[in-house]
Amino acid sequence: MQQYLGGAENANNDRAADDFDQLAQNAPRATVAQGVTAALRSDQTPPFPQLVGQMSGQGDPNQRAGMLNQLLGSLGPGVLGSVAGGALGNLFGGNAGQQPRITPEQAAQVTPEQVQEIAARAENENPSIVDRMGDFYAENPTLVKAIGGAALAIVLGQVAQGMRR
């Protein structure tokens, strides 16, 4: 963990995925969540919506449904018809007035680009969604590895700093 204290530029990004696996298995979930949230907010990583879209492309249908339900829960029910080109409103048969729960089957129909659009809208309307997604990803650490070595180094560096305190 010491190598990650200096920031992503000093870390071995090739080893970051293996080191993150070790962290995710051994550290408290809240600690992992703080590190992931820091990476989602970092100016050294792509913007939050892009990262969420990227991770959704790596997720299985259950994980994608979980991501989408987190994002949509921060938006409210009336937004579905106006997000992702109306695709979500169509997906729910026009029940955009109720807060839906997306099933894995429905989530499989939503593209990573649509997830990115939903994440952008969610972040704009409710910035605390970044924290909630950090918690979600801490529970689903295999998704986090999709963000790449440099972003994982940020996660690991954040956790290492927290451990020093």
Q: What is the pLDDT of residues 5-39, one digit of tens each?
A: 655 555 566 788 889 999 999 999 999 999 999 99
Q: Is the pLDDT of residue 67 over 90?
A: yes
CA dist 85 and 89 (Å) reads 9
91 belongs to a structural domain? no
- 7-11, 60-64, 111-115 — which is least confidently predicted? 7-11
Q: What local confidence, expressed as pLDDT, does residue 89 receive?
A: 63
Q: What is the pTM of this model?
A: 0.84
C-beta of residue 105 within 8 angstroms of C-beta of residue 128: no
16 belongs to a structural domain? yes
Element (H, E) at 131: helix 129-139
94 belongs to a structural domain? no
Three-class SS of residue 16? helix
Chain position carrying tokens 């986090």: 144
Chain position carrying tokens 């992702």: 84
Q: Which of 11, 158, 144 is nearest to 67 (CA)?
A: 144
Q: What local confidence, expressed as pLDDT, does residue 9 receive?
A: 56
pLDDT band at 2 (very low <50, low <70, confident <90, very high): low
Q: What local confidence, expressed as pLDDT, does residue 151 receive?
A: 86
Please state the rounded mean pLDDT for residues 92-100: 57
62 belongs to a structural domain? yes
Share of the chain above pLDDT 70, in %: 76
Q: What local confidence, expressed as pLDDT, does residue 51 receive?
A: 95
90 belongs to a structural domain? no
Q: Is the pLDDT of residue 1 over 90?
A: no
80 belongs to a structural domain? no
Q: Which of 62, 68, 47 is nearest to 111 (CA)?
A: 68
Query: How many domains are contained in the chain?
Result: 1
Q: What local confidence, expressed as pLDDT, does residue 12 receive?
A: 63
Q: Is the pLDDT of residue 96 over 60?
A: no
81 belongs to a structural domain? no
**Domain extent for 51:** 2-75+105-164
CA dist 79 and 81 (Å) reads 6
C-beta of residue 140 within 8 angstroms of C-beta of residue 59: yes
Share of the chain above pLDDT 90, in %: 52
